Amino acid sequence: MNSIFTQKRIIVIVFLLVCFLIINAFFGNQLKDFFYSRSEQLQASLWDRGSGDSFARKNQEELNKKLIEENQKLLSDLAGLQGAREENESLREALGLNLQKEFDLILGRIISKDILSDSILINIGLNDGVKKGFPVILSGKALLGRVVDVYPNYSRVMLITDKNNMIDVEIPDAQSFALSKGEGELKMTLDMFPRDKELKEGSLIITSAMGGNYPAGLLMGKVKNVKKLDNEVYQKAEIEKVFDLNTVNNVFVVKIAEIYND
Amino acid sequence: MIKEILKTLVLLIVMYCLFLFEMSFLPFFTFFSFLMPFVVLINIFEDPSGRIGLFSAFFYGLLWDIYSSHYIGLMALSFLILSLLLKLILSRYVRTGSLSWLPKI
């Protein structure tokens, strides 16, 4: 016992503990930002190589990326049209207002992904106007996640597939609401879908404004493997996500006016 | 003394490079961290009196803290204490052949 936990080692641990407490209390974020800025170039280059640039697949990847973006946009448009067209028109007529607001976006770039959790680091932060809780989307209005930590020049984004992420969603096909739960390892499931309604394979899932964290109408994914068990009150399903992180380099942070749950 | 500091610095630089590689390149191929088992193996096979396992566990934890949303030092100290406990268990209750060729710090 004495040869491993020597008095000297215990003193070093206590000293380190005090140092870390001081660092976290006064300049934890600045220190992280410093390390991110030093390694950004190398990490961005590694990310590019990992996403296919160095494997002689550039053209295929670019084409694939374009098709995925186009698909996301089309699916998003379709989802928006299915659920809310009539309602929107009648409301616009009634109020004389244009409710279709353009998003205020900030362009960012992915630098790295945490290997043990579903979170990524992007190269925009407090100095660019990013705040904790802002949603992060892709070019096709597909939801990627939301900002959970902001440093002066960088931000950490928790992906929608992270285990801590639960999002209120809407399934326009079924005219019903449900809950999307992150499962980790880039997977997520649909839960709390009413048993008495029909949940179809391939139905589009979009964000609902009920939770308050995300703007309504952002594309989440498609319904897959519906499970309707006799002994359960709600139906469950898997969610097929619409983005492939391997082909994503650029993301958009959406500036929203109010963040309710942060 | 200078030699020891140099060895520690080399270890830190190697771990830093491997960690960046793991964070920015490997997510495309695996969900698994290859550095963590590497650190555990060093601690298991190193001579209990050696310190390279302790340093590698501390550096790995520290890098993980910096490049994640944890508080700085949380994983660094946890891994350091776990490494010490592992060494204690190994020295008291387990007989393994230690890797004598591992450089000592």
For B12, half-sphere exposure in the C-beta direction (CA atoms, 13 angstrom radius) is 11
Report how far residue A162's alpha carbon sits from residue A187's, in angstroms, rounded to the nearest whole number.
8
Which token pair is A225?
Answer: 């493997």
Check residue B1 and give its pLDDT: 74
Asked if A25 is an interface residue toward chain B (Cβ–Cβ < 8 A), one would say no
B3: helix, coil or strand?
Answer: helix
Predicted confidence (pLDDT) per residue in B59-100, tens digit: 999 998 988 888 899 999 999 999 999 888 888 887 666 555
Q: Which of A143, A125, A115, A128 is nearest to A46 (CA)?
A: A115
Report how far residue A155's alpha carbon sits from residue A26's, in angstroms, rounded to the nearest whole number.
19
Asked if A38 is an interface residue toward chain B (Cβ–Cβ < 8 A), one would say no
Residue A55 predicted with pLDDT over 60? no
Q: Which domain holds residue A137?
A: 33-97+104-262
- The verdict on a CB contact (< 8 Å) between A113 and B88 is no
Closest Cβ opposite residue A13 in set B48, B68, B80: B80
Closest Cβ opposite residue B20 in set A4, A19, A42: A42
Asked if B21 is an interface residue toward chain A (Cβ–Cβ < 8 A), one would say yes
Q: How far is A113 from chain B (nearest CA, A)?
A: 6
Residue A188 near residue A239, CB atoms below 8 Å: yes
Predicted confidence (pLDDT) per residue in A36-49, tens digit: 888 888 888 888 77
ipTM > 0.85?
A: no
| Cβ within 8 Å of residue A255, ≥6 positions away | A103, A104, A105, A106, A129, A134
Check residue B50 and give its pLDDT: 78
Check residue A100 and give its pLDDT: 41
Q: How many residues does chain A have?
A: 262
Q: How far is A161 from chain B (nearest CA, A)?
A: 13
Residue A98 predicted with pLDDT over 50? no
* Residues of B with Cβ-Cβ distance to A44 under 8 angstroms: 24
Q: How far is A88 from chain B (nearest CA, A)?
A: 40
Report how far residue A150's alpha carbon sits from residue A160's, in angstroms, rounded to the nearest whole number.
18
Q: Does an H or E element contain A107, and which?
A: strand A104-113
Q: Which of A130, A152, A140, A161 is nearest to A248 (CA)?
A: A140
Residue A99 predicted with pLDDT over 50? no
Asked if B80 is an interface residue toward chain A (Cβ–Cβ < 8 A), one would say yes
Predicted confidence (pLDDT) per residue in B14-47, tens digit: 888 888 888 887 766 666 678 888 888 888 888 7
Q: 């190269």: which residue's tokens? A: A123
pLDDT band at A216 (very low <50, low <70, confident <90, very high): confident
Which token pair is A137?
Answer: 């989307």
| Cβ within 8 Å of residue A222, ≥6 positions away | A75, A202, A203, A204, A205, A239, A240, A242
Report how far residue A43's alpha carbon sits from residue A110's, in angstroms, rounded to the nearest whole number.
9
* Residues of A with Cβ-Cβ distance to B23 under 8 angstroms: 43, 112-115
Domain spans in chain B, listed from the N-terminal domain onward: 2-93
- Give the burial string for A219-228 (b: 16+ CB within 10 Å, else e): bbbbbeebee
Strand segments (E) across B20-76: none
Residue A197 predicted with pLDDT over 60? yes
Q: How many domains does chain A have?
A: 1
| Cβ within 8 Å of residue A221, ≥6 positions away | A188, A204, A205, A239, A240, A241, A242
* Residues of A with Cβ-Cβ distance to B18 under 8 angstroms: none
Share of chain A above pLDDT 90, in %: 9
> Is A252 or A90 the better-scoring residue by pLDDT?
A252
Asked if A9 is an interface residue toward chain B (Cβ–Cβ < 8 A), one would say yes
- List B residues 30-49 in contact with A (Cβ-Cβ < 8 A): 30-33, 48-49
C-alpha angle B2/B6/B11, rounded to 5°? 150
Of the given ranges (A26-40, A49-63, A188-202), which has the lowest mean pLDDT? A49-63
A171: helix, coil or strand?
Answer: strand
Q: How far is B62 from chain A (nearest CA, A)?
A: 10
Residue A143 near residue A259, CB atoms below 8 Å: no
pTM: 0.74
Q: How far is B33 from chain A (nearest CA, A)?
A: 6
Average pLDDT, chain A: 80
Nearest CA in chain B to A148: B69
Asked if A124 is an interface residue toward chain B (Cβ–Cβ < 8 A), one would say no
Residue A2 predicted with pLDDT over 70? no
CATH code for the domain in which residue A233 is found: 2.40.10.340
Asked if A16 is an interface residue toward chain B (Cβ–Cβ < 8 A), one would say yes
Residue A103 predicted with pLDDT over 80? no
Predicted confidence (pLDDT) per residue in A59-97, tens digit: 666 677 777 777 777 777 777 676 666 566 655 554 544
Full DSSP string of A143-170: EEEEEEEE-SS-EEEEETTSTT-EEEEE
Check residue A67 and give its pLDDT: 76
